[in-house]
Structure 1
């Protein structure tokens, strides 16, 4: 349970979100509600989430990542050079940054009034799975994690929601309780509603960061809010994870990435 001052802390930090909402533009290669949470705060950990890297390289020799290791970056409108330079500087694996930026670019075309920037998606991606690296896995060039990321059973234990199995164990391997799945930790019933093919490979895959980043973005934009506005941003995050502590962590992380990307 968070303290009574947490909401005020969140709102006081929203000033930078107008910038966060517009940062998708630098990634282009040329100018140009559910009653269940979508995510579960830190579901695959013991509840302790580390701090995002600050100015550290996103893995060894991030600037040496080859174009073919960044998958369909150019076809998704994302500059490989931008992904390498910014990802390496702010501590996001360049392949993961491609997914977040591509989703923000697509949403800017689909729903420009939403004003969702890639730092918000990156903030969620860090909190949920450390950008698809939780447990030692990583995001492959095609956008899939090398190994599946599956959360704990949502069995109503301490600090955990009780969500009975909704997919016969098809996505999460558990036929008794649901578990959050993939690099953005979707609950199976939510993925069934919001799943999307984000990279044009013909498959809607909960383990593919291109797909789940776009699905998460569409969910955040679903209520028609302007996510460069602090109150609308907070509402969007809380619709799928009703935890002010979670929203504050995503905000802190997203703002950190936004600031670092301009340094």
Structure 2
């Protein structure tokens, strides 16, 4: 039986094959959209970590400081070190325990790395800038892992919270560069490697010079 046609109905009916073709085109388009939407370009390679800034052209070395006592490996030198620290505590306005830690580090480096010429005043300057004048010197974990050591021969493990161990560890790291810290180039390149900051290094030099000019009380 033939269905009657209605007036104005002149468009032919779409076949099933035409409908499936249209659905296929739509599906292909969706696949392309989702594929393009989830594709990411290759991630850029990370940039190398920047090194320490360059020293200023007119860089100067710290002023000479009153030397810490002579290290005597076969005899106790604690009494001399304590007396030295007490004499400088007033003029430098630093606790004697901190001065003793810095002085001990200078004494040890004088024997272990004689060409380093590390002064306790440089360690005190770093402490003034990096540790705000009190407490142990901050030691970055990689430096601690490589250079940590006990400052006193008491068979205990080095402790980052111990002011003497922290100072000794930083001293070992600073002198590991092979630089002469009594020279401008040697001091600036070494301290910049530790602080990674030109302003902090300038402040460290200023503080070190202030401590170096402090005269003992006696």
Aligned partners of 1:199, 1:93: CA distance in 2, in Å?
A: 19
Does the C-alpha gap of structure 1 residues 30 and 194 become closer, same or farther in structure 2, counting only changes over 3 Å? closer
Does the C-alpha gap of structure 1 residues 78 and 247 become closer, same or farther in structure 2, counting only changes over 3 Å? farther
User: How many matched pairs?
Assistant: 162
Q: Counterpart in 1 of 2:141?
A: 188
Shift of 1:190: 2.5
Q: Is the 8 A contact 2:71 2:108 kept in 1?
A: no
The runs of at least 4 consecutive aligned structure 1 residues that moved more than 6 Å come to 29-32
Aligned partners of 1:98, 1:260: CA distance in 2, in Å?
A: 15
Aligned partners of 1:231, 1:262: CA distance in 2, in Å?
A: 29
Q: 98, 108, 111: which is aligned to 2:110?
A: 108
Shift of 1:87: 1.2
Aligned partners of 1:257, 1:126: CA distance in 2, in Å?
A: 10
Q: Counterpart in 1 of 2:128?
A: 126
Q: 172, 194, 197: which is aligned to 1:240?
A: 194
Shift of 1:80: 2.0
What does residue range 51-62 of structure 1 map to in structure 2 within 5 Å?
Answer: none
Structure 2 runs not aligned, ≥5 long: 1-52
Q: Deviations over 1:185-236 (max 9, x none)?
A: 1222321112111122312100001111011111111111111001100011
RMSD: 2.7
Structure with higher Rg: it is: 2
Q: 252, 256, 259: which is aligned to 2:206?
A: 252
Instruction: Give yes or no for the alignment of 1:28 onto 2:30.
Output: no
**What SS does the corresponding residue of 2:139 show, helix, strand or coil?**
coil
Aligned partners of 1:222, 1:120: CA distance in 2, in Å?
A: 15
Aligned partners of 1:83, 1:29: CA distance in 2, in Å?
A: 13
Structure 1 runs not aligned, ≥5 long: 33-73, 134-182
Structure with more of its chain in helix, by fraction:
2
Q: Normalising to structure 2: TM-score of the pair?
A: 0.66
Does the C-alpha gap of structure 1 residues 262 and 194 become closer, same or farther in structure 2, counting only changes over 3 Å? same
Aligned partners of 1:187, 1:31: CA distance in 2, in Å?
A: 30
Aligned partners of 2:71, 2:79: CA distance in 1, in Å?
A: 7
